[in-house]
């Protein structure tokens, strides 16, 4: 495999040991094909060529490569993102090449987040996982399809290994090459072919993600709540919901203090950890993954579920001591604003965050009035 520069960008050239059968979703010469060459062309972020296939053909021709070359594209910086490895299992050997850009990773079937406006932003950001695997054993047609399925499952597992919230990106491509001849009909996760492919892909994907600097960015408490549809303004509206006006206090000053404390706690590992715990428990509960409580039971917020209150009490006490716990209880009972539509763990953690902050602000203001 070589990486060459062309027209200001890099092109990876993968030369196979002779002509192979290829099954792929490639831009150029995709589908069922015969070739001994695969290229991955780096393009600019935001690339939007009217005919990417023709663009690839021009590059392939300029580099003197054969017309039967299979062509892929990526916006990832190939010198850092491209990974090549050879693995074996049992009697099977596979060579794997991966280039991974995962900034637009998504979970299959869940493209639309809480806020519609973020959908296009996420889908159209540059990012592609290209996987090229060269197996040393022939496969039948159904075996090729089975192997493609296994490779896709391995990619999803590899993303999970690296903490990436997605099963792939919105523009992934896959190439599987095998020798000609009668081959195995099966290449699933229990076969030597499937195990070899899966292990190689997971390792190569991890290396590519790390090399490209695409490890998942840490998300603080406000970003986690935002993902659940709770904005900073929602938090302030919850706070206002139970505020009893005081003539000597100005609302704008209260809001400024509230927002300042939110920003302060974004840098507090303990507050972040408790909010993250509540968000994760909420997501598990919605999916019915909490032991002894199915999804329907979780949604009803049963009285015997007290872990949510326990977490809320701990956070409010951490922020404002005993006074914070009392204020948390007040918000939890009345459920103003967004609290009324949140699930068991989310409503308590938001109530405790808001209640604790407001209690701390009240104490600060009252002590200042003395």
Q: Could you report the per-residue pLDDT of 165-200, keeping only the tens digit for each? A: 899 998 999 999 999 999 999 999 999 999 999 999
CA distance 126 to 119: 14
Determine the CATH number of domain 221-369.
1.10.3760.10
- CATH 3.60.70 is the classification of domain 2-211: yes
* Interatomic CA distance for residues 13 and 37, integer angstroms: 7
**Which of the pair, 249 or 124, is modelled with greater confidence?**
249
263 vs 121 pLDDT, higher one: 263
pLDDT of residue 1: 86
- Name the residue among 338, 23, 365 with its Cα closest to residue 175: 23
The string of pLDDT tens digits covering residues 347-363 is 999 999 999 999 999 99
206: Cα separation from own chain's centroid: 14
Let me know: does 156 contact 107? Beta carbons within 8 Å. Answer: no
21-25: average pLDDT: 98
Whether the domain at 2-211 and the domain at 221-369 fall into the same CATH topology: no
Report d(CA 336, CA 334) in Å as an integer. Answer: 6
CA torsion sign, 222 to 224 to 227 to 229?
negative
Query: Confidence class of residue 120 from pLDDT cuts 50, 70 and 90?
Result: very low
pLDDT tens figures, 260-313: 999 999 999 999 999 999 999 999 999 999 999 999 999 999 999 999 999 999
Tell me, what's the pLDDT at 122?
45
Q: Is 355 helix (H, G, I), strand (E, B) or coil?
A: helix
Per-domain residue ranges for the chain? 2-211, 221-369
Confidence band for 216, pLDDT divided at 50, 70 and 90? low
């Amino acid at each position: 495999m070589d990486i060459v520069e062309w027209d200001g960008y890099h092109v990876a050239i993968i030369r196979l040991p002779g002509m192979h059968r290829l099954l792929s979703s490639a831009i150029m010469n995709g589908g069922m094909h015969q070739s001994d060459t695969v290229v991955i062309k780096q393009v600019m972020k935001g690339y939007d060529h009217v005919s990417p296939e023709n663009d690839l053909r021009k590059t392939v021709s300029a580099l003197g490569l054969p017309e039967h070359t299979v062509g892929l594209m990526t916006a990832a910086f190939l010198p850092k993102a491209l990974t090549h490895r050879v693995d074996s299992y049992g009697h099977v050997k596979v060579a794997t090449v991966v280039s991974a850009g995962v900034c637009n990773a998504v979970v299959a079937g869940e493209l639309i987040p809480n806020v519609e406006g973020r959908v296009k932003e996420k889908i159209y950001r540059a990012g592609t996982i290209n996987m090229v695997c060269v197996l040393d054993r022939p496969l039948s047609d159904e075996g090729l399809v089975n192997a493609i399925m296994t490779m896709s499952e391995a990619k999803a597992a590899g993303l999970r290994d690296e903490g990436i919230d997605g099963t792939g990106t919105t523009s992934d491509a896959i190439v599987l090459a095998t020798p000609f001849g009668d081959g195995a009909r099966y290449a699933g996760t229990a076969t030597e072919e499937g195990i070899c492919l899966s292990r190689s892909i997971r390792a190569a994907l991890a290396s590519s993600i790390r090399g490209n600097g695409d490890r998942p960015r840490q998300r603080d408490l406000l970003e986690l709540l935002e993902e659940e549809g709770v904005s900073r303004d929602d938090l302030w509206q919850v706070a206002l919901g139970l505020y009893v006006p005081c003539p000597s206090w100005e609302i704008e000053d209260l809001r400024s203090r509230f927002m300042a404390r939110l920003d302060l706690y974004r840098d507090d590992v303990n507050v972040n950890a408790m909010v993250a715990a509540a968000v994760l428990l909420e997501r598990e509960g919605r999916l019915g993954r909490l032991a002894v409580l199915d999804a329907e039971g979780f949604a009803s917020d049963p009285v015997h579920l007290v872990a949510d209150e326990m977490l809320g009490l701990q956070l409010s006490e951490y922020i404002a001591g005993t006074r914070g716990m009392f204020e948390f209880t007040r918000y939890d009972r009345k459920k103003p604003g967004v609290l009324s539509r949140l699930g068991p763990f989310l409503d308590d953690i938001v109530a405790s965050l808001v209640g604790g902050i407001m209690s701390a602000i009240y104490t600060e203001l009252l002590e200042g009035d003395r």
